[in-house]
Amino acid sequence: MNSLIQRIHGKSLFCLGNDKWLRRFAHKLMNHYLFDWVIMVFIILTTVCLTLDNPLLDKQDWTIVILHRIDYVMTGIFFLEMLIKIIAMGFVFNGPGSYLKDGWCILDFVIVLTSLLSFPLKEYNFTYLKSIRMLRILKPLRMIQRLRSLRLAIVSLLKSLPGIGNLLVIIAFFIFLLAILGTTLFKGKLYRCETSQLSALSYEDKRDRITTKADCLNYGGDWVNPDLNFDSTPAAFITLFTVMSTEGWIGVMWDCVDAVGIDMQPV
């Protein structure tokens, strides 16, 4: 512990040197093996409270009242934790070991500060104040600082983003090529006659009598084009991307079946 104190320069908060009992006590408390685990329990409890909070409930409901009181207590505990670290490490002018010289501590500082600001402003309904309250969802991110394996995973993910970006460019290029092919094959061919109001005609009559746009309009139908089509390269790109996401691909499949003239009579 003494070596750790020696690596921190200057006085914490311009008044607490390395020889002050308060700073030594803060160092001892911060480096205790139970310190991080206790804070972790409070973070989990705060996360659970966030999931239970429902804006549709009445403010006087006992659930909301209890959750707000727990929020006060949790914010006070996190503020006390931040204060202990600032006393032990120094705020910002105490060398590379200062509190605000660490990115994860900056995240802690922002979360605690926004939580404190949300209390006196919670009675107001201004838009920018609601955005401040929204930052409470950052509280579970405090767990990243205390779980080394999770922190390494996040850092690894961030470092892999350039490689992922290159992969996305390659995928987009192939989708673009297929979009050009789809436009060549199906441009203007996915229009169909909306005949839901033509109940007097059977399926066979609709198939045999309605073959063009003019036939559709003469029978009182609507000549419509689906939202997912291949009428242009950008539209085809969006269609192929939607099909890749497995959302709405069945409709595109049947439209293409109709476009190529395959008779698939429903059972």
Compute CA distances 37 → 50, 93, 146, 198, whole Å: 20, 28, 8, 69
Amino acid symbol at 208: D
Can you tell me which residue has the tokens 């200062």? 98
Query: Which overall architecture, per CATH, does domain 2-159 show?
Result: Up-down Bundle (1.20)
C-alpha 134/C-alpha 55 separation (Å) is: 12
Determine the pLDDT at residue 172.
93
5: pLDDT confidence band, cut at 50, 70 and 90? very low
- Alpha helix ranges (H) inside the chain: 2-6, 21-30, 33-52, 62-89, 103-121, 127-134, 142-146, 148-159, 161-186, 203-209, 213-218, 233-244, 249-259
Query: Mean pLDDT across the stretch 103-115?
Result: 79
For the chain, domain boundaries? 2-159, 162-259
Instruction: Dihedral sign for Cα 183, 185, 191, 196, please.
Output: negative
Residue 125 burial (C-beta neighbours within 10 Å; 0-12, 13-18, 19+): exposed
Cβ–Cβ under 8 Å, residues 212 and 221: no
pTM above 0.75, yes or no: no
pLDDT tens-digit map of 8-44: 556 666 677 666 777 788 888 888 878 878 888 888 8
Determine the pLDDT at residue 102.
76
What tokens appear for 47 in the block?
A: 């996360």
